[in-house]
Structure 1
Amino acid sequence: MSDLKDYLADRATEVDAALDAFLPSKRQRPSSLHDAMRYSLFAGGKRLRPVLALAAAEACGGEKEDALPAACAVELMHTYSLVHDDLPSMDDDDLRRGRPTCHKVYGEGMAVLTGDALLTEAFLVLSETKPTPRYPTSAFIAELAITGGSTRLIGGQVLDLEGEGRDLKKAELVRIHEAKTAALLTSSLRLGAMSANATPAKLEAITSFGYHLGLAFQVIDDILDVTQTTEKLGKTAGKDEAVSKATYPAVLGLENARKEAAKLTRKAMEALGPFKKSGDRLRQIAAYLLERDY
């Protein structure tokens, strides 16, 4: 597992360097906006989604350098979603990754514009992905656009807002997180695989892996929200319960939520059958995420 931790740290460092090169400098006008974009993007995230994109590319026999634009684009979209989710009109949170959220530092109007700019930048960066024989540039753009649109990420946030204070069933909860957490995590993996010109069979396997891993990740996130401290999480602990948001522990109970996370992780690993040894790094990451405590 120490080898995995080194791998995750090394890949995160590579992603950070690439993001730094892609983003406008803080000195470039309007400097206030570019400062806010960098503040939000370089707030100490683990870079899980871009690292998964790189790992998927490697599993499919590609080079991580070819997957870097897609990996960075995913992180830009993810950060935009966090900036907007934290707004008072949405989840209304004051902490993200252990420090004040964007709107607490720069104001609500600037936070809205920061999220807008990060999302737009994501597609500019993604356009630099090299096309492959199976996947033209338009395929990469469409993949991320669908993931970030009204039927996935944004639609999932709508369902999340509409579900607050309601007694949701498990199927309704799953639908929310299929559209949010699982969709973006799956797209990260798919974009990495596409950059390596993955065969249809391998892309299908990667998609199934991402779907189950994404749901497992959300279950674990919900568990940590009720079992860990704000200091350890880097965000406000217990926030979901405070706003009467449906979570897996609330719907299933804590012990059954843990069983659900283990079941979903097992299904994710089973999906990697076509990869044999080349999928070992992805299996390691899945096992690591199941056991995470922050």
Structure 2
Amino acid sequence: MQASLNTYLADRQQLINQFMKNYLEKQDIPERLKASILYSINAGGKRLRPILMMASCEAFGGKPEDVLHTAAGLEMVHTYSLIHDDLPAMDDDDLRRGLPTNHREFDEATAILAGDSLLTMSFQLIAEDEQLPAEKRLYLVEQLSKVSGASGMVAGQMLDMESESKSIPIDDLKRIHHLKTGRLLSFAILSGAYVAGASEERLASLEKTADLLGVLFQIQDDILDVDGDEEKIGKPVGSDETNEKSTYPKLLGMDGAVREKTEYVKEAKQSLSEADVDDTMLSALIDHLSNRDH
């Protein structure tokens, strides 16, 4: 299964990378701004969110190409968020994916505009997808705007910033990561199933998996920030401690964080079974996300 999963990941990464590169290079964008955008898009990245969307679509009988525009749009939103998170006014990071952050490679203003461009182009991409009927495109744009905006990812970033240098309850930490990380992951899984025509009942079962995935993803991120390999994760370990952030290992201890993650994996797989898609690549991806080393 591991060899099969690795091949699957590599194939889907190549598909999404080539699509985004071709799309962006054709856009009429000022040269320096385009260079800044492509710098962050081409810096690598696991493409986990678009791959989850494709896997979900396939689990319900669709094809990867059915969600290619939406998957690329989602990855653009994610990349924009990383560019802005790294800014001096936010996390003030110097490295991302083993390379200088966008504002270090270019300048702060250019990095902000590159992020702005990626965010807005994500909706343009979905709107231009002539493979999908207009009502599906409208629904996807509406949902992506919700999960990435002031009641989703941006809200999570705000709460995360406000919690720095404070000791917060574990339920508050879960809420932060549900918004900051989980909402985009949920969008990936639910949108893939929606485009493939999943029934409302199966979507309801899948929604629990989607919510759980965001938390277990963040727990593993927190674990890697403590004992991960700096070369593999592409940025210094210990940045959460330096920024005085509340994390799962800090609040629960390392053993407690691992136990919490294991329980979430178990519950997520149970929900997949209820949606009748447990024997699919989605299940393998849950194990992969919870055990990743970068």
Both proteins in one fold, TM over 0.5: yes
Q: How does 1:209-220 map to 2 (within 5 A)?
A: 209-220=209-220
User: Does residue 201 in structure 1 map to residue 201 in structure 2?
Assistant: yes
User: Partner of 1:80 in structure 2?
Assistant: 80
Change (3 A) 1:245 1:278: closer
User: Partner of 2:185 in structure 1?
Assistant: 185
User: Partner of 1:261 in structure 2?
Assistant: 261
Q: Which amino acid letter does the alignment assign opposite residue 87 of structure 1?
A: L
Secondary structure of 2:25's counterpart equals: coil
User: Partner of 1:19 in structure 2?
Assistant: 20
Q: How does 1:77-156 map to 2 (within 5 A)?
A: 77-129=77-129, 130-131=131-132, 136-156=136-156
Secondary structure of 1:271's counterpart equals: helix
Q: Which amino acid letter does the alignment assign opposite residue 202 of structure 1?
A: R
User: Partner of 2:282 in structure 1?
Assistant: 282
The answer (yes or no) to whether the contact 2:203–2:275 under 8 Å persists in 1 is no
Shift of 1:205: 2.3
User: Partner of 1:162 in structure 2?
Assistant: 162
The answer (yes or no) to whether the contact 1:80–1:114 under 8 Å persists in 2 is yes
Q: Which moved more, 1:212-221 or 1:229-238?
A: 229-238
The answer (yes or no) to whether the contact 1:71–1:188 under 8 Å persists in 2 is yes
Q: Distance in 2 between matches of 1:274 and 1:132?
A: 29
Secondary structure of 1:11's counterpart equals: helix
Gaps of 5+ in 2: none
Secondary structure of 2:171's counterpart equals: helix
Shift of 1:233: 1.1
Gaps of 5+ in 1: none
Shift of 1:194: 1.7
Secondary structure of 2:204's counterpart equals: helix
Q: Distance in 1 between matches of 2:149 and 2:233?
A: 28
- Matched-pair identity in %: 39
Q: Distance in 1 between matches of 2:252 and 2:62?
A: 40
Q: Which moved more, 1:269-278 or 1:11-20?
A: 269-278
The answer (yes or no) to whether the contact 1:60–1:278 under 8 Å persists in 2 is no
Residues 229-258 of structure 1, C-alpha deviations (whole Å, 9 max, x = no match): 322210121000011011110111110000
Q: Distance in 1 between matches of 2:243 and 2:221?
A: 16
Q: How does 1:23-102 map to 2 (within 5 A)?
A: 23-25=24-26, 28-102=28-102
The answer (yes or no) to whether the contact 2:152–2:180 under 8 Å persists in 1 is yes
Q: How does 1:223-238 map to 2 (within 5 A)?
A: 223-238=223-238
Q: Which moved more, 1:202-211 or 1:218-227?
A: 202-211
Q: Distance in 1 between matches of 2:251 and 2:66?
A: 42
Structure 1 ranges of 4+ moved more than 6 A: none
